[in-house]
Amino acid sequence: MSNAIKETQFQFPGQVGFYKGKVRDVYIFEKELVVVASDRISAFDVVLPKPIPYKGQVLNQIAAKFLSATSDIVPNWVTATPDPNVTIGKKCEPFKVEMVIRGYMAGHAAREYKLGKRMLCGVEMPENMRENDPFPEPIITPTTKASEGHDEDISKEAILSQGIVSPEDYAVLEKYTRTLFKRGQEMASEMGLILVDTKYEFGKFGDEILLIDEIHTPDSSRYFYADGYEENQDKGLPQKQLSKEFVRQWLIANGFQGKDGQTVPEMTDEIVESISDRYIELFEKITGEQFKKAETSQIANRIENAILAHLG
């Protein structure tokens, strides 16, 4: 097996803080953030015991591609990507909501619909829809951004009435969300894919609203293959997905859904390698580019040296 980066514990000159997320290690400076995409993998809000080689590189490079490809329509936080696993950018004050946008009746929306609900985050869903049907137009279904535990659905009206986001700023978030999703769908279509749903996070740098975090990666988005979509819908068959759903399905098949008392199944070398291969396949399908494996024999040193060189 190749070396994989499970966690980093660097100390950089000028560093004022550190935050460890589910998959990212964030080094905090006065005006910028250095974000290391580790090879950790999470499912059902649980970080699995073994890292997946090249997963961090895959997600970081997909995000870098899409952030660059949308910077003409929405400004973003990125200032440099000095290493395949590293993104550096402006330190923003994040909005405490995630802007989820759905073009199709899939995932959480479909589960709620099957329970008989026709309202999601204050948005009405039409009658007589089948799972994976397109909405008449994409709907925005925000969630709260929880520092601990699960994010929760919230309506635009509740966000405004609770003062979580000002009406002026929320109007910009909505506009940016729809603009980004339209561009994402166009880029997916060029690759023979359908961008089904995704989430965006935004923050403020001074008075400017910027797109932050990753976008259009298989960890934050759901894709269908366009080829066969209509036929599968007509026959009532499941759609072929391009996301990390395959990891969840493997866990479910082995009796794990993140519930109390459940144990993560053994991650053999074969399983780890197969997940790594799938992530590389995801990269190539989404970007249309060949994946070039970065040197991993001294991966921690490589990452640290790249960051130090950037910091000067």
d(CA 51, CA 272): 8
- DSSP label at 295? P
- Domain 17-92+268-311: CATH superfamily is Phosphorylase Kinase; domain 1 (3.30.200.20)
Question: Are 17 and 28 in contact, with CB atoms under 8 Å apart?
Answer: yes
pLDDT, position 150: 62
Which value, in Å, is the radius of gyration of the alpha carbons in the chain? 20
Query: Which residues of the chain are modeled with pLDDT < 50?
Result: 1
pLDDT in tens, 91-124: 999 999 999 999 999 989 999 999 999 999 999 9
Give the predicted TM-score (pTM) of the model.
0.90
What stretch(es) of the chain map to CATH 3.30.470.20?
Answer: 94-242
3-class secondary-structure state, position 142: coil
pLDDT, position 44: 82
pLDDT, position 148: 57
Q: Is the dihedral of CA 60, 104, 184, 154 positive or negative?
A: negative
pLDDT, position 312: 84
H/E stretch holding 43: strand 42-43
d(CA 71, CA 81): 15
pLDDT, position 301: 96
d(CA 50, CA 192): 32
**Residue linked to tokens 């960051």:** 307
pLDDT, position 53: 96
What stretch(es) of the chain map to CATH 3.30.200.20?
Answer: 17-92+268-311
- Measured between alpha carbons, how far is residue 155 from residues 17, 92, 160, 179 in Å? 33, 24, 9, 20
**Residue linked to tokens 């709260």:** 144
Q: CATH number for 94-242: choose from 2.130.10.10, 3.30.460.20, 3.30.70.260, 3.30.470.20.
A: 3.30.470.20
- b/e sequence 13-51, b meaning 16+ C-beta within 10 Å: eeeeeeeeeebbbebebeebbbbbbbbbbebeebbbebb
pLDDT, position 248: 85
Closest CA to 153 of 185, 102, 108: 108
